[in-house]
Structure 1
């Protein structure tokens, strides 16, 4: 049997987990993930990505110390993001163009955050 047709061309899960203040791993929500997820949903709608793209909240994705974190399926690519500009770049480069935003990608075995960079800074 073959797999069914995809319901969404891209399905984005944004961690909005909130741990108690001072937790050793932190939490995506404490780093602004809910506000940024809301922005991503609105921006995807503005770009006309619906109904082929779905932006969802997720509980803990177990990467909060690297977050805010999100994962995009069906590719299974993980990102960290901090700003609306990061969200814009992920939507345009990954979702629309099918490429990757390497400076924001999280490696499967990554346990420490990358140094902060901006879109115009060399990675």
Structure 2
């Protein structure tokens, strides 16, 4: 960010993959693993908690389908794999509100999909 850049509209964007592939697709999809329900909860809960300056967004494929449901929080660039409402709650409380990290849910640079054949 430079001095010439405008100020950020949101302090954080939470992108939740809701991509859906066919049930027989070898990579699977985040939507088939429940990401839409988790996204809906995250949006509602963030409003309920009145967390200022954030936006929960639907995302298309984030290319980590094998590890889904996948989400990423920017500008931090931290990737998570929430699989339950409790996971979402912990991400909101620890990361978004508290500024920490939920280590057990983080997807790292080691969590990459296999090369496309």
Q: What TM-score does the superposition give when structure 1 sets the normalisation length?
A: 0.86
Query: What does 1:85-100 align with in structure 2 at a 5 Å threshold?
Result: 85-100=86-101
Query: What does 1:50-69 align with in structure 2 at a 5 Å threshold?
Result: 50=52, 52-69=53-70
**Cα distance in 2 for residues equivalent to 1:75 and 1:5:** 16
- In the TM superposition, residue 4 of structure 1 has moved relative to its aligned partner by 2.4
**Cα distance in 1 for residues equivalent to 2:26 and 2:41:** 27
CA RMSD of aligned residues (A): 1.2
The residue number in structure 1 matching 2:84 is 83
The residue number in structure 2 matching 1:9 is 11
Query: What does 1:22-37 align with in structure 2 at a 5 Å threshold?
Result: 22-37=24-39
- In the TM superposition, residue 10 of structure 1 has moved relative to its aligned partner by 1.1
The residue number in structure 2 matching 1:39 is 41
**Cα distance in 1 for residues equivalent to 2:30 and 2:69:** 4
Task: Give the length in aligned residue pairs.
Answer: 111
Structure 1: give runs of 5+ residues left out of the alignment: 113-123
Q: What TM-score does the superposition give when structure 2 sets the normalisation length?
A: 0.90
- In the TM superposition, residue 109 of structure 1 has moved relative to its aligned partner by 3.0
SS of aligned partner of 1:43:
helix
The residue number in structure 1 matching 2:74 is 73
